[in-house]
Structure 1
Amino acid sequence: MKSLKKEEREYVKERIKEHFELDRGEEIGDLAADQMVQVIAEEMGPFFYNKGIEDARQMVEQKVINIDEDLRSLERPAGRPKRS
């Protein structure tokens, strides 16, 4: 799995530190926050990644259905009309 860019990792670290301070009344340092980022990325990252893939797959599937409907609407009748 591709790792976060430096600025993305820093952002996540700061949000973790902020969460601990505001929601739990605890202060954690950069090292602890960085370790949390690592655990989240390794243990939970694949779930978020897979959800993103599933969302993208559904979007593409819907686009294909729409394209198919659009193409079918362009079809013209062929052959001679049937006689009664």
Structure 2
Amino acid sequence: MQPIKFDRDETKAIVAEIQDYFREELDQSIGAMPAEMLMQFFADKMGAHFYNRGLHDAQALIRKKLDNVSDEIFALEQPTRYVR
């Protein structure tokens, strides 16, 4: 897997979320640089877990949709003398 990279705007938004979390939940302040380092730590060390979960969720959704399509196609069959 390639390293997770965020563009400048995404990084700024994530850093702001981390700073908000520290301020609101921990009653502490954290600078932009430490917040960005924390973000990068999570991306490097745990990003693959979140990425894989997203892939598994996407696969489950696609499987469900394909099952629905398959059922709908089966419902279109016309009766014939041929029995399966």
Same-fold status (TM-score > 0.5): yes
State the match for 2:11 in structure 1: 9
- Runs (4 or more) in structure 1 with deviation over 6 Å come to none
State the match for 2:36 in structure 1: 34
What is the TM-score with the length of structure 1 in the denominator? 0.83
State the match for 1:72 in structure 2: 74
> What RMSD, in angstroms, separates the aligned Cα atoms of the two structures?
1.5
Alignment length (residue pairs): 80
Q: Give structure 2 stretches of 5+ with no counterpart.
A: none
What is the TM-score with the length of structure 2 in the denominator? 0.83
Q: Give structure 1 stretches of 5+ with no counterpart.
A: none
Percent identity among equivalent residues? 26
Equivalents in 2 of 1:77, 1:23: separation in Å? 64
